[in-house]
Amino acid sequence: MLTLALLALFLAVQPWSTLAAILLVTGDDGVRKEGAYVAGWLTALTVVAAVTVVASPSVEKNSTSSATQAAVEVAAGLILGGLLVRRWQKPRDPGTKTEPSWMGRLDTMSPTVAFGLGAFLPTYAVVVAAVSQMLSSGLTQRWLAVAAILWVLTASAGVAAPLVVLVTDAEHAPETYQRWRNWLVVNSRAILYAAGGLVCVVLVSKGIVGLAEI
pLDDT of residue 187: 79
Among left, alpha and beta (phi > 0; psi -120 to 50; other), residue 190 is alpha
What is the C-alpha to C-alpha distance for residues 78 and 80, in angstroms, rounded to an integer?
5
What is the C-alpha to C-alpha distance for residues 93 and 18, in angstroms, rounded to an integer?
14
Contact between 12 and 158 (Cβ < 8 Å): yes
For the chain, what percent of residues have pLDDT higher than 70?
Answer: 90
- Output the CA–CA distances (angstroms, integers) from residue 203 to 38, 122, 126, in the order listed: 27, 17, 9
The 10s digit of each residue's pLDDT in 42-85 is 999 999 999 988 888 776 666 666 777 788 888 888 888 888 88
Question: Cα–chain-centroid distance for residue 188?
Answer: 15
**Mean of pLDDT over the chain:** 83
Nearest alpha carbon to residue 119 among 182, 59, 48, 167: 48
Q: Where are the domains of the chain?
A: 2-213
Orientation of helix 2-12 relative to helix 124-135, angle to 10°:
160
What is the C-alpha to C-alpha distance for residues 32 and 40, in angstroms, rounded to an integer?
12
pLDDT of residue 99: 59
SS3 content of the chain, % helix, strand, coil (to 5): 80, 0, 20
Burial 165-195 (b: 16+ CB within 10 A, else e): bbeeeeeebeebbeebbeebeeebeebbeeb
Orientation of helix 2-12 relative to helix 157-168, angle to 10°:
60
Q: How confident is residue 97, by pLDDT bands cut at 50, 70 and 90? A: low
- pTM over 0.85? The answer is no
Nearest alpha carbon to residue 180 among 196, 166, 198, 197: 166
